[in-house]
Chains A and B, each alone.
Chain A
């Protein structure tokens, strides 16, 4: 482990990222620019999240990496082995045992506790991106709290589909001030952002932006008074493996003749429950 500086990035870069993180924590929901580095993986694989994790890691940390809730998918396995190699930190698949969790597209089902850091990989940090193409204008809109346009998008959904059709990356308002893209997590996970005891950090590598939710931050999902926000998931199913009714489910196609099953997307949550049921039986 002498070939690399601890956690791959050099100390000057880590300091730069930590300064951006401090600013992001000081202004919850505000997108702080940072000079994102080239990482030894392609954009879209979580380069922003990896840089934030690298800047947060200390040798005593225990790291968990998940992709769509699973510990055993390509992205999660690659990033976990990356940090095993370049930081030599302990890794775990258990949410409760981890001190830093890097995630793509999910928040773990098990409640997070104070002291834990949740790092999100963010593809598009700007919630107004597809409503207003000019970055100069979206920055002004954030500065002036000019969020009527975001509401127009929700209006259009209801007019066209009879409900707010957005199922992931559902926009939220942070502490009544900044509108934020919570990264492509399902809207089922949005309530977990609110008043979380853990520190939540968001890194967008290609877009060079970092933003954060400090512990116990008020996070509200945008909605209309007569069309309130509903955290939805696959209705009418329990997990086929552990029987959980309260977790977010993946639909898995099992054969060519229409066979399918619904299972927890959070593999650790599912495995823990299954082990418990076996112990009780």
Chain B
């Protein structure tokens, strides 16, 4: 089996400051990889480098593309990268406002990726958008409403539908449950877990919430000051942390 994503020696510096340094990992098809760490540890920098939003200084990001097999996404041309971002990739932002068009109806938001890859039949686009909104538990009666009239949890679910509609194989998530209250978080996590398992998605999920990775992630990477300090199976890392920082992280979770 070829790995879906292979990252080798990825580094990104902001001047003298380290964003992330010497990150290596391999993601296999159908696997969910969690990246945890405190604010400023380089999680989001790493994710943005992987998704092509930032250009890293060194390293390789080899993606097993649907059309051409393993390719380094960093040396690809911009049109190819954008095409990937509309087909094979998906990116779920922490704040739905960054990932949605607030002035466009929920149906239009979900349909945009379809139209961007060439769909030109209104009826088909609308049917697919309605299907996906149903899958993320949004009433189709609200599909012509703008996301600005939706609650935070609904907006996040629309964003997820919008990203998954073209059947991506690799989903990047940046704190998908951040900013939501706990009961809404639980529902969203439940939904995400169902979708990931049913569609066999590969996911790289960045979060500082350990319960999120406990529920979703197969494997875990712990970052501190731009470096990966510990890596392993989620339960193994969380139940038997080896690195001092991971021990601190795990022990600082409040149990109610």
In the bound complex, do residue A146 and residue B108 qualify as a contact, i.e. CB atoms below 8 Å apart?
no
Cβ-neighbour of B122 out of A146, A147, A149, A224 (below 8 A) = A224
Residues of chain B at interface, number, CB under 8 A = 23
Which A129-153 residues have a C-beta within 8 angstroms of B? Answer: 140, 144-149, 151-152
In the bound complex, do residue B144 and residue A152 qualify as a contact, i.e. CB atoms below 8 Å apart?
no
Which B81-140 residues have a C-beta within 8 angstroms of A? Answer: 82, 86, 101, 104-105, 107-108, 111-113, 115-117, 120-123, 125-126
Q: Given contacts A155-B125, A225-B120, A226-B123, are A148 and B107 in contact (CB under 8 A)?
A: no
The yes or no answer to A251 lying at the interface (CB within 8 A) is: no
Which residue in chain B gives the minimum CB-CB distance to A225?
B121
Cβ-neighbour of B107 out of A144, A145, A159 (below 8 A) = A159
The yes or no answer to A4 lying at the interface (CB within 8 A) is: no
Q: Given contacts A146-B82, A148-B112, A151-B115, are A156 and B105 in contact (CB under 8 A)?
A: yes
Which A149-175 residues have a C-beta within 8 angstroms of B? Answer: 149, 151-152, 155-156, 158-160
Which residue in chain A gives the minimum CB-CB distance to B106?
A159
Q: Given contacts A156-B104, A159-B144, A160-B144, are A224 and B112 in contact (CB under 8 A)?
A: no
In the bound complex, do residue B82 and residue A226 qualify as a contact, i.e. CB atoms below 8 Å apart?
no
In the bound complex, do residue A227 and residue B122 qualify as a contact, i.e. CB atoms below 8 Å apart?
yes
Q: Given contacts A144-B78, A144-B82, A160-B144, are A155 and B116 in contact (CB under 8 A)?
A: no
The yes or no answer to B244 lying at the interface (CB within 8 A) is: no
In the bound complex, do residue B121 and residue A159 qualify as a contact, i.e. CB atoms below 8 Å apart?
no
In the bound complex, do residue B122 and residue A158 qualify as a contact, i.e. CB atoms below 8 Å apart?
yes
Which A196-243 residues have a C-beta within 8 angstroms of B? Answer: 224-227
B residues within 8 A CB of A155?
107-108, 111, 115, 122, 125-126
In the bound complex, do residue B79 and residue A144 qualify as a contact, i.e. CB atoms below 8 Å apart?
yes
Which residue in chain B gives the minimum CB-CB distance to A150?
B115
Which interface residue of A144, A145, A152 has the most chain B CB atoms within 10 A? A152
Q: Given contacts A144-B79, A159-B144, are A224 and B104 in contact (CB under 8 A)?
A: no
In the bound complex, do residue B122 and residue A148 qualify as a contact, i.e. CB atoms below 8 Å apart?
no
B residues within 8 A CB of A160?
105, 144
- Inter-chain CA distance A98–B123, complex, in Å, is 46
A residues within 8 A CB of B116?
146-149, 151
A residues within 8 A CB of B120?
151, 224-225
A residues within 8 A CB of B105?
156, 159-160
In the bound complex, do residue A152 and residue B115 qualify as a contact, i.e. CB atoms below 8 Å apart?
yes
Shortest A221–chain B CB gap in Å is 13
Which B151-195 residues have a C-beta within 8 angstroms of A? Answer: none
In the bound complex, do residue B108 and residue A156 qualify as a contact, i.e. CB atoms below 8 Å apart?
yes
Which A168-191 residues have a C-beta within 8 angstroms of B? Answer: none
Shortest B147–chain A CB gap in Å is 13
Q: Given contacts A146-B116, A151-B115, are A224 and B121 in contact (CB under 8 A)?
A: yes
- Inter-chain CA distance A61–B167, complex, in Å, is 59
Shortest A84–chain B CB gap in Å is 46
B residues within 8 A CB of A148?
86, 112-113, 115-117
A residues within 8 A CB of B86?
148
A residues within 8 A CB of B121?
224-226
Shortest A162–chain B CB gap in Å is 11
A residues within 8 A CB of B126?
155, 159
B residues within 8 A CB of A151?
115-116, 120
Which residue in chain A gives the minimum CB-CB distance to B119?
A151
Cβ-neighbour of A152 out of B111, B123, B143 (below 8 A) = B111
Write the residues of chain B forming the contact surface with A, with a CB cutoff of 8 angstroms: 78-79, 82, 86, 101, 104-105, 107-108, 111-113, 115-117, 120-123, 125-126, 143-144
Q: Can you list 14 pairs linking A and B with CB atoms under 8 Å apart?
A: A146-B82, A147-B116, A148-B116, A148-B117, A151-B115, A155-B115, A155-B122, A156-B104, A156-B108, A158-B122, A159-B107, A224-B122, A225-B122, A227-B122
Nearest 7 CB-CB pairings of A with B: A148-B116, A151-B115, A224-B122, A148-B115, A225-B121, A144-B79, A152-B112
- Given A145-B79, A224-B122, 4 additional A-B pairs, CB 8 A: A155-B108, A155-B111, A224-B120, A226-B123
